[in-house]
Amino acid sequence: MINLLNYTDRNVVFALFEPIKRDLDLSDQKLGWLGSAYVIVLSLTALPLGVIGDLKSRRVVIAFGVGLWGTFTTLGGGVRRFWQLFVCRAMVGVGEAGYGPAAQALIAEFYQGRRRAFAIGVYSVGMAFGGVLGVWLGGVLMERYGWRATFVIMGVPAFVLAVLASRLREPLRRAPAPLLATVRGWISRGVRRAVPYVAPLLLLSAAGAAVSGVLALIEGEPSELDTAVFGGFVALGLAWTVYRLVPVAIARTTEAGEVAATAFQDFQQAAATVLRTPTLIWMFIGGAMVTFAVNGLIVWAPTFMHRVHGLSVGEFGRQFGVWGLVGGALGSLVGGRMADRVFERWSGGRVLASGAGFVLGGPVCVALLLVTEMRTFTALLVVTLFLYTWYNGPLSAVIFDVVPPAVRASVLGAFVLFSHLAGDAIAPPLVGYLSDRFELRRAMLILPAVGVLGGLVILVGLRTVRRDMARVGRPDGRMVGR
């Protein structure tokens, strides 16, 4: 449920591109930057928040992340300028950065060995459903209530799920305290202790808002400069806050000292860890390319349907939403199950499922972008989403297979950092830039081309995965319990 809300809240903005473009007077390139805002910040904060999850409590990091992204999704309904909406979407990324690595590492503790890719695939159904529902519901709500109210309506459920997330059980840690005791602790100790640590973020964010506001007044219109200035201040505040929090997490961790020290040392040497694990290199590079393809397609699909096929977002959702849900959900489940089945007999099974979907799906996606007949379009949409979601469970499972258990969230955070900054953070503004100069359909053809290349890069990992698994005690992929 949290993962479903994760993707509805991150994707709802794509359904609102056209009214936002009119109301705030934006170019396609600026719309693309709205699509990348959360990805950039998510990438920068996923690694440190993943480390904190490894060291202290994944449950706490998840609950914090859900509440934070819900807050800034809701605040998006009150913006008046481009940079304000950019900031709100960027802060959604902070919340989702805390959630993603910690959630998948928690699942990896519950489901081991041959069941892991399928378990993460089930979790990833939330991504498939949420990705489609975010656009679908966003379009329906926008038609009825306007784009500002849509942000508010989509953000509110996060607060309920944040409370429920605080009750999650962590198998390798102590159970959470009773709910009332937890709430009292937040009020009496948590808020008071948190203020000194978040003060740099709050103060620098306020300073950035003031400086960027002055620049906006001088320029007289939204620009990338005032957004970049504000983003720089926020990034500095985040870095300062994380710098102060990591030593506290280490000092107060309930994990054994040896595990905490290992996790922190791996954080300090993240680049070296990746470079000495060849399979991770191929997963990181190929992962960046496939996220470029997937995110670019998701971001621009509603606008593509409106401009090329003359359908509003609501009409698109009503006609094709169910088919999109079917294709995405089946792809996540089939990809995870197929990967685990092949993995039982061959250590490269999960790598194969991660890359093959994009190699097979590239030509189908090209046909989807070029076709004009709607009946054919429906079939191509289902097949594209089916193949493009195979990788969700298997790719994360491959990463978990070749790293030690104590640092899974940290390494997955590093993957998020690289794949998003080098991949899907680039796709929306690049497609928007090309669309401003050519037209949207031709601009989007770059997406399946990069996806095919990324799938081929992932498949190179077939040559190295067995050896890298042996380094962490899984020589044949069948040594860990079910």
pLDDT by residue (tens digit) across 68-122? Answer: 888 888 988 888 888 888 888 888 887 777 777 778 778 877 877 667 767 877 7
Report the first-to-last Cα separation within the chain, whole angstroms: 25
- Sequence-distant (6+) residues with CB within 8 A of 411 are 50, 266, 270, 273, 274, 280, 399, 403
Q: Are the beta carbons of 88 and 72 closer than 8 angstroms?
A: yes
Give the orientation angle of helix 147-155 with respect to helix 116-145, to 10 degrees.
140
- What pLDDT shows up at residue 453? 95
How far apart are alpha carbons 237 and 247 in whole angstroms? 17
- What pLDDT shows up at residue 474? 56
- What pLDDT shows up at residue 367? 94
Q: Which residues of the chain fall short of a pLDDT of 50?
A: 176-177, 179, 222, 249-267, 475-482
Query: pLDDT for 306-346, tens place per residue?
Result: 888 888 777 777 777 777 778 887 888 888 888 888 888 88
Measuring CA to CA, which residue among 79, 135, 77 is closest to residue 299?
A: 135
- What pLDDT shows up at residue 195? 64
Burial class (CB in 10 A: 0-12, 13-18, 19+), 27: middle
Residue whose tokens read 């948190």: 194
- What pLDDT shows up at residue 46? 63
- What pLDDT shows up at residue 220? 53
- Sorted by where each starts, the structural domains of the chain and their CATH numbers stand as 2-174+254-471 (1.20.1250.20)
- What pLDDT shows up at residue 120? 74
